[in-house]
Amino acid sequence: MSGVTTVSEGAVATLRFDRGGKANALNAELIAGLEAGALALAQRADISVVVLTGAPSIFAAGVDLKDEALWKPGAGDVERAQAMNAGGRMTDAWRRVPQPVIAALEGPVIGGGAILALTADFRVMGSSSYLRFPEVRLGMTLGWGGLPLLAERVGSSRAKRILFCDEKIGADEALSLGLCDRVVADGAAEAEARRWAAEVAQAPSLALRMTKGAIDAEVRRNWAAASENDQFYLARRVLEDASHS
């Protein structure tokens, strides 16, 4: 089972991903479920706004580094690269959801989980929630389309500082940086996101989609960064080779 469920209430759909443990880290199964969920929601003419949320107390503590289905140890380079690029395909699917997306964030939002959160149009954070991007400190690049998403929100200089220093960004700081839009009490992020989604859904659905599409078209050229996936894969291989030397 993918751990991904979608519930609709009127014109608002809430997609939840929850492994039921393991810090809700993104494994191959969860990534596939999230991609399929985004693609399915994109086809829903009855849905005007989407809420994206993780487990009740934790959005996602990064990528599951122990999931062999994701890293494919022992496989050939092509097969391994395809498996590792699954996360990039998933986040790209979420960036292209035509409806406005509001992410409800509780607890740690780390690495791949933070990139997923940045694909949303808006983010609501519980007061103790925080963002981290530890990839560079771990010897990898920020893949999955995360580099342009982060830089367009905080600027290139601050993005470099966040990445190079593995800064832990609390909810209030995220609000001041433009990485989130509302801060609420712990445990209340999903309820606030759903309330906000219902408010946004009062606008005509087609107008919402057209406006989002027009705004995103201005920045979509920066999303390409096609070499990100290759850099992520090569960095992972270098780390593995170093550990075996």
pLDDT of 201-241, one tens digit each? 999 999 999 999 999 987 766 555 444 555 555 555 545 65
What CATH number has the domain bearing residue 190?
A: 3.90.226.10
Query: In DSSP terms, which residues pair with 60 in a beta bridge?
Result: 109
CB 76 within 8 A of CB 100: no
CA 10 from centroid of its chain's CA atoms: 25
Count of structural domains within the chain = 1
**How do residues 83-141 score in pLDDT, each as one tens digit?**
668 899 999 999 999 999 999 999 999 999 999 999 999 999 999 999 999 999 988 88
**How do residues 43-60 score in pLDDT, each as one tens digit?**
999 999 999 999 999 999
Q: How far apart are CA 30 and CA 112, in angstroms?
A: 12
Domain span at 88 = 4-244
**How do residues 110-126 score in pLDDT, each as one tens digit?**
999 999 999 999 999 99
Q: Which pTM was predicted?
A: 0.89
Q: How far apart are CA 208 and CA 113, in angstroms?
A: 26
User: Hey, what are 108's tokens?
Assistant: 């740690």
